[in-house]
Amino acid sequence: MGERIIRLSELMAYHEVKEVYKDSVACFRMDNSLVNIDTIPPVFADMFSFLLVESGTAMFSINCRECSFRRGDMLLLSPSSLVAITGQSDDFVAMHLLCERSLFEHMLSSFDAYQSYSLFFCRTETPVLHLTDVQTDGVLASMRQISDTIKKSYVYQKNILNHQMHALFLQVLEFVDARVAVLPPAVNHNEALFHRFILLLIQHYREEHYLDFYARRLSISTTYLSRVIRKVTQKTAGYFISGMLYAEACRLLVYTDMTIQAIAYDLHFSDQSAFGKFFKSNAGMSPQRYRTERPLRTRHTSPL
């Protein structure tokens, strides 16, 4: 693997991890027995990552900055992070939860309070939380539950996993909220403006695909909003708009029996062809092929 973008399925195959649910979620124990733990070059992973150190120490390179982590340190990593493990002690143990980008972004859009995660990722150079021993044990227990659910075949496995994921995100949200609350105030209100943009996007992304709508609602120019988003996040506005649309398109293709034409209509594309071009530019395949390779799992709207 080189310095490139990789998917969750690729990364788990590289480490020979078995605790993976439908190429969308993985949660596993990370220690020196993990296959290829010492041969991980810097990569951009197209997923969100929660890593909590249980014991020992490890050195990580995060966006080319070396950092040491020990028990109680929790890394929250976004797809924009360039990450590598550069060393670890013999007694290093951690629990690691990985969530495929489109699934995580869909879950963020399901609950307004989760937008604290967006602010955390945008405003912290070193995305780490420092937990007490009691907090560490509580989060580790939740992560082990998720790992056990992935490994076992329950009748209601996806429903259980969905609830466990939300429970973990809420548990960690307590610490994220506390961290965000003490961050320096936004300079020139840029971060507050970005947060307002995200809240608008959650409400309107299905029908409004262009930045000019959001700029008008915020009473600013499209150029200015684009500049602010780039300054705060180092990403384009299109990254966020397309990300929301793509996450919902994936969910509808896999978890409903709606026709592709109906999905295109539901997401307010001009026609099925326009939707197909958009989807292929994100997934590297047509909507029909994506659906064929991931058979309908349930008509329930759970993203898992």
Percentage of the chain exceeding pLDDT 90: 44
- Say how far apart CA 133 and CA 135 lie, in whole Å: 5
- Say how far apart CA 78 and CA 63 lie, in whole Å: 11
Please provide residue 214's backbone torsions phi and psi, each rounded to the nearest 5 degrees.
Answer: -70, -35
Structure tokens, 271: 């026609």
pLDDT grade for 41, boundaries at 50, 70 and 90: low
The pairing of strands 5-6 and 43-45 is: parallel
Lowest average pLDDT, out of 69-83, 132-146, 188-202, goes to 188-202
**Greater confidence, 59 or 293?**
59
Q: What is the pLDDT of residue 304?
A: 54
Structure tokens, 257: 């029996």
For the chain, the residue count is 304
Please report where in the chains the tokens 């349930």 appear, as a residue.
298
Mean pLDDT of the chain: 85
Find, among 216, 236, 240, the residue nearest to 227 by Cα: 236
Average pLDDT for residues 181-210, to the nearest whole number? 79
pLDDT in tens, 116-165: 887 788 777 778 999 999 999 999 999 999 999 999 888 889 899 999 99
Contact 283, 247 (CB under 8 A): no
Contact 15, 36 (CB under 8 A): yes
Structure tokens, 166: 């939300």
The pTM assigned to this predicted structure is 0.66
Q: What is the pLDDT of residue 3?
A: 43
**Ordered DSSP codes for 141-201:** HHHHHHHHHHHS--TTHHHHHHHHHHHHHHHHHHHHHHHHHTSPPPGGGHHHHHHHHHHHH
Tell me whether residue 225 is exposed, middle or buried, using C-beta atoms within 10 angstroms of its C-beta: 0 to 12, 13 to 18, 19 or more: buried
Given a cut of 80, is residue 109 above it in pLDDT?
no
Find, among 171, 220, 212, 223, the residue nearest to 192 by Cα: 220
26: left (phi over 0), alpha (psi -120 to 50) or beta: beta
pLDDT in tens, 204-259: 888 999 999 999 999 999 999 999 988 877 788 888 888 778 878 887 887 788 99
